[in-house]
Structures are given as structure tokens and as C-alpha cells.
Structure 1
Amino acid sequence: MAWNQPGNGNNNDRDPWKNQGGRDQGPPDLDEAVKNLLGKLGFGGKGNKGSGKSSGGGFPSKGFGIIAVLLVVVWFIAGFYTVKEAERGVVLRFGNFYNLVDPGLHWRPVFVDSVETVDVSNIRQFQSEGFMLTQDENVVQVELDVQYRVINPRDYLYAVENADRSLAQATDSALRYVVGHTTMDEVLTIGRENVRANTLELLENIIAPYQLGIQIVDVNLLPARPPEAVKDAFDDAIAAQEDEQRFIREAEAYARQREPLARGQVSRVLQEAQAYREQQILKAQGEVARFNELLPQYQAAPRVTRERMYLETLEKIYSETPKVMVDVEGSNNMMYLPLDKILEKQRRTMGGASEMETQGQNSGSSDTSNTGRNSTQSTTNSTGRTSDRFNGGRG
């Protein structure tokens, strides 16, 4: 039965908020509760029930020892910490740098040492961008992507106030300097690689004295853009430059194709010239040898030798010419026979006859019989005319 069940005439005696005497005393005393707790832990005596006063005079030495041990245990356990695989720990003792710790489980004295971890394995990156003035006083929008990593955690944390912000400011300064010494066409087209390389070199030189503890891995110059007001004109200019480069590559390809042929022709001409030179030298040596052999004969019989040489020369000349000169005896006229023309005409006549013969073979059988009769008649007439001429000649 519940303590406050209706019908229970002794409810007042079972009320937990009232004492056994039935007098309402309110909440329990806080000091009394603390003393009771300390008494249970052995740090002091519990007060007398009648008087409410403590019989103990203070905390014994045993209680202080337990508290000290508990505090030491808590302090020791709180000193354990873990450094991740990709990190390095920087230990400060009383606020000054003490040492660096590698990944793993470590212990430090709390309230004496403090540890800050730095990621030294992963690559970090940021972008530096903005409108910049070029050497030819044009404005372009340039974006540079910088990749870096921490190589010295101590310098990264304490050499400067904020290493990342310092690197960003140095990057912006280096990029603006390089763009300011480069023309707009180079920044937009063919000079982008030079801008990237020069910016990287200048950035490394700028951050070296500050000892940021940072290593620049790479920088990547993103495609630069002209202002929107002149974007169309610059697109046309870029297209023209690309066409120029394409024509240059095509010309170089053509040159590489033609150069071996030209070199081959040069080599062939040189070889032919060398052969002609040797041929002429040998021919001259042969002429000299023939002259040396002919000289004794000429000295022995000059007239006969001259006539023989003259006749041999004429024979050689006439054998190589298609023209024939005939001296008619008893006349001052000289007959000219164009043998080359005569031979050419004869070849044309023979060619025409062969063509007519081929056409005659391809004609029908009726044409062949008619042709045969006409041929027989022509032969008869020709024979008759021949007989008449012969008889007439006889008469």
C-alpha cells in the first residue's frame, strides 16, 4: 500500500518529507550532508545525533594521501596523447620549443608541456587570382594554383605569425611582378609556360629568407582571360596566332619532307660532276698520249700525216651528220640531200600503210571480193600500160 493511500489513518507518520515526530523541517542541511559524506570516506567523524556537532577535529593524514594519489593518477593518465601517421608533433615546454615527435603514442607532463600537431604529408593548395597590369599596359585576369607541403613544423608554426597567409601574399607579389614584365599576348598564348616558370622561381626566392617551413611542390597557371569588353577582339587575335603556329608547323613539315630530296639531288649532281671531271681528265690524258704517239710520225712525214688527219676528221664529222653534200662534177653547184627529212617521211609513209592494211583486214567478206576484183583489174590495166610503154620504147 502506498504511503499516501486514501483511508490510511497514519499518513502523516509515513510522509518522507517529515521526520518521525511529525514536524516539517524542509530540505536536508547541506553542511550535514557534506560531513556525512566525508565521514563515510574516513576523513572525519559523523556528528552526534543529539547535539548535531562533529566529534572530529579535522582531516587525518590518511585522507590527504588518498587525494594526492588520485590526483597523480589523473595527471599521469591525462598526459598520454597520439600523433597521427601524416602528422608531426611540436612539443613546447613552458611555452618554449622543446622537440619534435614522430607519429605514435607519446606522454607529456600536463601543465608543463603542450603539443601541437602539423600535417606534413598531404599536399595543400590555394589559388591566387586577380586583375593584373601587363607590360604593354593591358589588364588581364590571371589565376595561379599553388601546391605546397610543410617540411619543417617548427618554422611553419613559429617562424612567422601565419605561414599560409604569408605564402599567399608572396605568391600574389611574385605573380604580379612577372605579369607586369610580360606582354598581354604572351600571358594569353605562347608565354604562359614562361610566366609559370618565372613565377615559381621568384616565389621560392621570396620565401627563402622567411623560413616558412614550406616547400613549393608546383604552380599551375590557369588560362588567363582578357576583360569582357575586349574579349571578342582577343579571341580573334588568339585564333590568328594559332593559325600562324599551324602554318609554321606545316612549313616545317614540308621542309623536313623536301630537305632529304634536295640533299639527294645535291649528292647526285656532285657525283655526276665528279664522274665528268674524271672522264674529262682521262680523255685529256688519252689525247695527250695519242698526240705523243702521233708526233714522231708527223715529224717523219708531215704532209702525209696532215692529209690523213684531215680525212679522218671529215669522216668523223660526216658520219655524225644527217646531211649529205654532193659535189656534181663539171658544175659549180653542190647538191644537198636532207637524209633526215627523207628518212622521217619514209617512216610516216610506212606507218600509214600499216594502218590501212589493218583496216582492210577488219572489213567484211563482200568488201574483200570487191577489193579483189578491183585489184585484179588494176593489175591488168597496169600490166597493159607497162606493155604499151615497153612496146613504145622499142618502137
Structure 2
Amino acid sequence: MAWNEPPGGNNDQDPWGNRNRNKGNDGPPDLDDLFKQLNTKLNKWLGGGGNKGGNNNSSGSGGGFASLLALVIVAGVLYVAYDSFYTVDESERAVVLRLGKFYSVENPGLQMKIPFIDRIADKVNVTQVREHSLKNSMLTADENIVEVSMTVEYRAADAKAYVLNVRDPQSTIAHAAESALRHVVGSARLEQILTVGRDQVQALVKERLQTYLDNYDVGIQLAQLKITDAAPPSAVQDAFDDVIKAREDQQRLVNEAQAYANQIVPVAQGQAQRQLAEAEAYRQEVVAKATGESDRFSALLAEYEKAPDITRQRLYLNTIEEIYAKSSKVLLDVENGNNMMYLPLDQLRKNSTASAISDLTTGAANVNNLTQSEVSNLTDQILREIDRRRNNQ
């Protein structure tokens, strides 16, 4: 069934209000007829159709004005409906003014405002990182000229301050960055800017620039600041290259000397520690030996006090024994004799046979292997034998 054919086959009226249409014409309605019908209905709604018996020209002019007025009203309603809603992206913040005064900062999403009263001053992207670069010649603290290139990356952290507090935020950050850079460079030496002090200069510039922006209340937060290049003027570039090369050679020599010191110092410390240990061991040995001698003398003194004559004779014999042990001659001290008997053992050894020499060597080895107590016993026996022979005489 066609869209303009009512149920039951009654085709005397379609949705456009046309009655008794030509049954042979099944095409779409004429646009002029539709406009006239719409105009008629608007005139009736606005009261323009009450004067049916009036002049056709006056009725037509009144209907045209009413139609125009209706179109204006409909367009106004549609515009108000369209202008009442707006969207804010996820990375944006909308600054809304009401009657020209700040009203609010709207978050992402679908938002509504009052038409002709509220106005969106701007939608600020608070996540976008903006960049500003500058390059200029500046005077250092030691009265040298240096060309410095710097890049500043920043973002609009406060949408209200970024839109309303300054007229041109980009121009503001450009002037503030140059001012901060000139202040720090003017307080530093050229060598510091060109070499190892560049990072420190960079940090000071960033800190000062952020202070300026906070004082201006522009709603800008620095993300990164980097001094990309710093060089002396081209006229003196060769001289500065020589200075830098000399400084690098100096640093290399310092590193080599430090490496040599790291190699030598531990060895010297080890030797010193070894000598200290040997000295301590020698000290302990001498102290222990002196302590032992002292204890032996104390014990000998106690024995001497008990039997002075025997102890004196014993000390004498021990001393003679130590002296003659290193001599190749043997002397016998006979009591009541004018001369000491001399036994040329060295000559006897030379004239003796090999077996006799072997026996004497074995005996001497046995004598040398005697302990101190055995030597003392042997000495006592010799003394007793001497006393016995003297008594027999």
C-alpha cells in the first residue's frame, strides 16, 4: 500500500491535506502547494485567516508577513536550542563568561549555557605541550659575549588565568624567558656556561622563569627548559676551541695521575702495614725474651740465696762450658797446679785414623745432642771425680 493511500482504499485525502486529487496522479505533492498550505495554516494560527471576505491583495500581504514572522520565530527557537548546548573535549577546559564576567571553568563533556547571557571565552587545551625557542647574544659576568639558544616547553595549567589574566600568553612567556636567561647568564662566567656549568645555568633559568610566570599569574606551568647551544662569537671561536682542548688535556692528565695514585698508594700502605706488623712482632719478641731472662734471674737469685757457693761454682762451669764449646782446644784446670794441662785434640784428630775420626765425630754428635739436664749431670760427675782424686792425694 502506498504511503498516501489510507486503509480501505479511500484516496480522497493524503497527509498533506489534499482532497479529491487526481486519481491518475500518484507522484509526490507539488512544493508550491505545500508552501501555500503551510502558509494558510500559519495564518489561521496567527489570526490572519479571519477576514475571509476581504480584499485578496491585503489578505495575501498579511499572510506573507505572518509567514515571515513565523519563520523568524522558528529560526530563533532553533538557534536558541542549538546555542544552549556545547561540548568540551577531554583535553580541554572551557572558560565561561556571564554578562562579560567570569562565571566558571567547565570540565569535559556536554555542557549547557544560557544563550545571549553566557559566552564561552575560550576552550583551552590543558594537556598540550607548547614550545617556544629563542636565540640571542648576551653578556656574561666576566664581560664576554656568548650566543645562547634555548627551548622552553610549557602547558596551560590554569585555563582561567591563561585566558583572562594576560592578553597574549605566548608573548608573555617569550619576554619572561629572555629576561630570566639574560639575568642568569649575566651572573655566570663564560667558562661555566660553555662547559660543566651549563646544567646549573639551565636549572637556574627554569627556576627564575617559573617564578616570573607565577608572579604574573598567567596559568602556565613549565614542562622542560633546555639550553640547546652556547657558543662564543665566531670571531674568537678558534681561541675558545684551544682553551677547551687544553682543559680536556688537563682533565686527562688529572685522571691519569689519579689512576697512578690509586695503584701506588695501596702498595705503599701494604708495605707500611707489613713493617708495622714486623716491628710489633719484634717488640713482642724482645719483651718476651727480656721477661724470660728476668724470670730466670729471679729464680737463680733465689737458688743463690739458698746455696751461694754451689750456685757460684755452677755458674762458673756453665760459663766456661759456653766459652770452650766454640773452641778447638781443650784445657783442664787442675787444682794446686801451676800450669793448666793442654790437650791438642785438633792435632790428635788430624793424626788419627778414619775410624777414630768417625768414632770421635759420632761421640761429638752424641755430646752435642745432650740436653741441658744431661750436661749438668755430667758436670756434677766430673766435679765429684775431681774431688775424689784430690782427697786421695
**TM bin (shorter chain):** 0.5 to 0.7
RMSD: 3.7
CA change 1:80–1:256 in 2 (3 A) is farther
Size of the aligned set, in residue pairs, is 286
Task: Give how far 1:226 is off.
Answer: 0.6
CA change 1:172–1:309 in 2 (3 A) is farther
Show the counterpart of 2:158: 152
CA change 1:311–1:298 in 2 (3 A) is farther
Q: 1:79 aligns with which of 50, 75, 84?
A: 84
Please tell me whether the aligned partners of residues 76 and 109 of structure 1 are also in contact (alpha carbons under 8 angstroms).
no
Q: What is the rounded CA distance, in whole Å, between the counterparts of 2:321 and 2:128 in structure 1?
A: 102
SS for the counterpart of 2:230 is coil
Show the counterpart of 1:265: 271
1:274 aligns with 2:280: yes
Q: What is the rounded CA distance, in whole Å, between the counterparts of 1:313 and 1:177 in structure 2?
A: 95
Please tell me whether the aligned partners of residues 213 and 219 of structure 2 are also in contact (alpha carbons under 8 angstroms).
no
The Cα offsets for residues 70-128 of structure 1, whole Å up to 9 and x where unpaired, read as 42122112333222222111111121111111122223233222221011112122123
Q: What is the rounded CA distance, in whole Å, between the counterparts of 1:83 and 1:250 in structure 2?
A: 63
Show the counterpart of 1:173: 179
Q: What is the rounded CA distance, in whole Å, between the counterparts of 1:239 and 1:65 in structure 2?
A: 86
Amino acid corresponding to residue 246 of structure 1 in structure 2: R
- Map of 1:303-342 to 2, 5 A cutoff? 304=313, 307-308=316-317, 310-311=319-320, 314=323
Percentage identity across paired residues of the two chains = 40
Show the counterpart of 1:107: 112
Q: What is the rounded CA distance, in whole Å, between the counterparts of 2:229 and 2:261 in structure 1?
A: 33
Please tell me whether the aligned partners of residues 187 and 224 of structure 1 are also in contact (alpha carbons under 8 angstroms).
yes
1:54 aligns with 2:58: yes
Q: What is the rounded CA distance, in whole Å, between the counterparts of 1:315 and 1:232 in structure 2?
A: 91
Task: Give how far 1:195 is off.
Answer: 0.7
The Cα offsets for residues 12-56 of structure 1, whole Å up to 9 and x where unpaired, read as xxxxxxxxxxxxxxxxxxxxxxx99966863757xx9xx984246
Show the counterpart of 2:145: 139
Please tell me whether the aligned partners of residues 156 and 219 of structure 2 are also in contact (alpha carbons under 8 angstroms).
yes
Q: What is the rounded CA distance, in whole Å, between the counterparts of 1:312 and 1:185 in structure 2?
A: 86
- Map of 1:15-26 to 2, 5 A cutoff? none
What stretches of structure 2 of length at least 5 have no aligned partner? Answer: 1-35, 330-393
Greater CA drift, 76-85 or 116-125: 76-85
Please tell me whether the aligned partners of residues 83 and 104 of structure 1 are also in contact (alpha carbons under 8 angstroms).
yes
Q: What is the rounded CA distance, in whole Å, between the counterparts of 1:72 and 1:66 in structure 2?
A: 10
Show the counterpart of 1:26: none
SS for the counterpart of 1:276 is helix
Task: Give how far 1:288 is off.
Answer: 0.7
Please tell me whether the aligned partners of residues 297 and 305 of structure 1 are also in contact (alpha carbons under 8 angstroms).
no
Show the counterpart of 1:362: none
Show the counterpart of 1:353: none
Task: Give how far 1:293 is off.
Answer: 2.4
CA change 1:189–1:308 in 2 (3 A) is farther
Q: 2:194 aligns with which of 183, 188, 198?
A: 188
Greater CA drift, 252-261 or 201-210: 252-261
Amino acid corresponding to residue 136 of structure 2 in structure 1: G
SS for the counterpart of 1:99 is strand
Show the counterpart of 1:347: none
Show the counterpart of 1:223: 229
CA change 1:292–1:187 in 2 (3 A) is same
SS for the counterpart of 1:54 is helix
CA change 1:312–1:214 in 2 (3 A) is farther
Q: What is the rounded CA distance, in whole Å, between the counterparts of 2:238 and 2:125 in structure 1?
A: 46
Amino acid corresponding to residue 166 of structure 2 in structure 1: V
Q: What is the rounded CA distance, in whole Å, between the counterparts of 1:80 and 1:315 in structure 2?
A: 131
Q: What is the rounded CA distance, in whole Å, between the counterparts of 2:324 and 2:245 in structure 1?
A: 75
Q: What is the rounded CA distance, in whole Å, between the counterparts of 1:315 and 1:133 in structure 2?
A: 98
When normalised by structure 1's length, the TM-score is: 0.62
What stretches of structure 1 of length at least 5 have no aligned partner? Answer: 1-34, 326-395
Q: 1:244 aligns with which of 243, 247, 250?
A: 250
The Cα offsets for residues 340-389 of structure 1, whole Å up to 9 and x where unpaired, read as xxxxxxxxxxxxxxxxxxxxxxxxxxxxxxxxxxxxxxxxxxxxxxxxxx
Q: What is the rounded CA distance, in whole Å, between the counterparts of 1:109 and 1:274 in structure 2?
A: 98
Amino acid corresponding to residue 155 of structure 2 in structure 1: R
Amino acid corresponding to residue 200 of structure 2 in structure 1: N
Task: Give how far 1:314 is off.
Answer: 4.3
SS for the counterpart of 1:224 is strand
Q: What is the rounded CA distance, in whole Å, between the counterparts of 1:126 and 1:227 in structure 2?
A: 23
Please tell me whether the aligned partners of residues 150 and 225 of structure 2 are also in contact (alpha carbons under 8 angstroms).
yes
CA change 1:82–1:253 in 2 (3 A) is farther
Q: 1:128 aligns with which of 130, 134, 153?
A: 134
Q: What is the rounded CA distance, in whole Å, between the counterparts of 2:222 and 2:268 in structure 1?
A: 51
SS for the counterpart of 1:91 is strand
CA change 1:179–1:272 in 2 (3 A) is same
Amino acid corresponding to residue 277 of structure 2 in structure 1: Q
Greater CA drift, 51-60 or 129-138: 51-60
CA change 1:184–1:70 in 2 (3 A) is closer
SS for the counterpart of 1:278 is helix
Show the counterpart of 1:98: 103
The Cα offsets for residues 266-318 of structure 1, whole Å up to 9 and x where unpaired, read as 443333333222222211111111221233456614864664465466468x5
